[in-house]
Structure 1
Amino acid sequence: MRLDKYLTETLGVTRKQATKLLKAGEVTVDGAVVKQGATKLADDSEVVFRDRELNLTGPRYIMLNKPSGFVCSHVDDYNPTVFVLLDEVSPEKLHVAGRLDGDTTGLVLMTDDGQWSHRITSPKHVCEKTYFVELADPVPEETIATFAEGVMLRGEKELTRPAKLVLISETEARLTITEGKYHQVKRMFASVGNRVIGLHRERIGAIELDDALEPGDYRELTEEEVAYFL
């Protein structure tokens, strides 16, 4: 592969931008500065840009522990996006498989594999998502049965799918749903006269948030975790 094409694929830049980087002497191949974009790379060539080795990436699968205050989009006029938390080549090629609100924390899955994320987000696929919920008011025991039967959310035409509610304390609960309506967890509790004051996603399908990840940290998914949605 030509060096300039390699740079366009690993850095997400145009061929013209790659040429400028080369002319500026910012790229080395096997330890030597190379300025010619037409240079042919061997299979084992080591390409470094600004002290960082570049590698062609295949499909990427990432688990992020999302902090509060970050939005799950690439561009936002008011808030930082989750993508600024990544130290990755071409983060603009990644997307979130199942967004969270800005004030919601916890498990976010990110990938550049559209088919894989479709299995998580498509209404045709039943994918469980579990949330730890903090409420403003005590949760009555009968809410367990109410959510199990489904509730009618304002603006919707059908009941929510059956959801599993486990009460942890008077104002704390764990809720598992199998769909992803807009602000669904908050709207479900609002429908029974309560208000969510804290929301943290713990699990998507069989993938659980890694306890070792601090807010803002991320890691690649294991082969077993990726395979769950293949």
Structure 2
Amino acid sequence: MSTERIDKLLSHEGFGTRREIKRLVRYSEVCVNGTRIFDSGFPVNPDKDTLTVDGEKVSLRKNVYLMMNKKPGVVSANKDGLHQTVFDFLPEEYRFTTDGTLTHKIISPKTHLPKTYFVRLAKPESAARQTEITRLFADGIHVSAEGKEAEFDAKSAHLVWKNESEAELTITEGKYHQVKRMFAEAGNEVSYLKRLSIGSLKLDESLAPGEFRELSQVETDALFL
């Protein structure tokens, strides 16, 4: 049985921060399966339990999925000692949303889920060098260790050049700084990087840098196909 704290679920549904929901549970009639509860940490099974607030049924979502147009220099992590993370741009109700199953699917090379990135390089590459790098990536380039991150052999990746210094790279893994490390092995440096798509899900071009929105049900379903 998979359960979630009631304050987390109510926060997902827009009832406020955890502190505000603690007051809500204390002073309003919050019921699970018809029984009033007073503990904001009470465990609820979103698939089986019925939650009501002052008699109104609450639609429960175990996980919430967001799309963000990440600003340059912002990292996709919970915490980072040097850079801002995507969580710094989210309101409190979204900062504890996780889905380990989906994360594993996106990162694991076994699922072969393609992820496409726009890349701008610090140095322009000649036609001959472009051909060489494209072949290296297609064959699966060896990537050296970086800090605490181990070395690895990257899976075959598809590289399409736009001009001398810009390209789109599609990989099927999600190693730490993988795209930047791959180009470093090829003798260049990534000066700008933007993820364009994950599987069939493409970045919403209407989102300004730092903006985000929840995924539609159709978009969410596409990630799990």
User: Structure 2 length normalisation: TM-score?
Assistant: 0.69
Matched, 1:150 2:140: yes
Which of 147, 160, 169 is 2:163 aligned to? 169
Residue 217 of structure 2: aligned partner: 223
Of 67, 86, 89, which residue of structure 2 is paired with 1:85? 89
Task: Give the deviation of 1:203 after TM superposition.
Answer: 0.9
Partner of 1:191: 185
Is the 2:119–2:192 Cα contact (8 Å) retained in structure 1?
yes
> Could you tell me which amino acid in structure 2 is paired with residue 144 of structure 1?
T
What TM-score do you get using the length of structure 1 for normalisation? Answer: 0.68
For structure 1, the 5+ residue unaligned runs are 30-36, 46-54, 95-111
1:13 aligns with 2:2: no
Aligned-residue offset at 1:223: 1.9
Seq. identity, %: 37
**Structure 2 segments unaligned to the other structure (5+ residues):** 12-16, 31-37, 40-51
> How far apart in 1 are the matches of 2:175 and 2:53?
50
Matches within 5 A, 1:31-180: 41-43=54-56, 57-87=61-91, 90-94=93-97, 112-139=98-125, 140-142=129-131, 143-155=133-145, 159-180=153-174
Cα distance, 1:226–1:190 mapped onto 2, change above 3 Å: same
Write the distance in 2 (CA, Å) between the matches of 1:147 and 1:76.
29
Is the contact between residue 134 and residue 198 of structure 1 (CA under 8 Å) also seen in structure 2? Answer: yes
Taking the aligned partners of 2:144 and 2:7, their CA distance within structure 1 comes to: 50
CA distance in 2, matches of 1:138, 1:211: 27
Deviation at 1:76, TM superposition (A): 4.2
* One-letter amino acid matched to 2:10: T
Letter in 2 for 1:141: Q
Q: Measure how far apart 1:19 and its partner are.
A: 4.1
Equivalent-residue separation in structure 2 for 1:130 and 1:8 (angstroms): 32
The SS at the match of 2:153 is coil
Deviations 1:140-161 (CA, angstroms, capped at 9, x unpaired) = 2322122111111124665321
Give the alignment's Cα RMSD to 1 decimal.
Answer: 3.4
Question: Separation in 2 of the partners of 1:193 and 1:137?
Answer: 9
Task: Point out the structure with the larger helix share.
Answer: 2
> For residue 90 of structure 1, what is the amino acid of its counterpart?
E
